Amino acid sequence: MQLADRIKHIGHRFVDRIDPQVISDAVEYADFSECRLAIEMLCDQLFEYDVPITSEEFQQLQQLATETGSDAERIEALRPLVRTSAS
């Protein structure tokens, strides 16, 4: 799966937890090869609104951040949001 497609996939996992417009905007950035911006936007929203995430989602975001050269501190800031279940 291509990088942009993987970003879309992870973004859609948050559809019921963050503003759908944010997801739409992030996906649009990924479509235009702005993958770093897309990941950072998703992470910023998760952090800002204290959205619980699973350890799997956290690991996927870490991997995507590494691949896109995203700010590692933004990703690490999400660690306290990791829950055993995102529901």
Give the angle 65-43-16 at the CA atoms, nearest 5°. 125
Q: What are the φ and ψ backbone dihedral angles of 76, each rounded to 5 degrees?
A: -60, -30
Give residue-wise pLDDT tens across range 1-26.
799 999 999 999 999 999 999 889 98
Task: Map residue 53 onto helix, strand or coil.
Answer: strand
Give residue-wise pLDDT tens across range 78-87.
999 999 754 4
CA distances for 9 relative to 15, 27, 34, 73, angstroms: 10, 9, 15, 22
pLDDT of residue 86: 43
Give residue-wise pLDDT tens across range 25-44.
988 999 999 999 999 999 99
Domain residue limits, the chain? 3-83
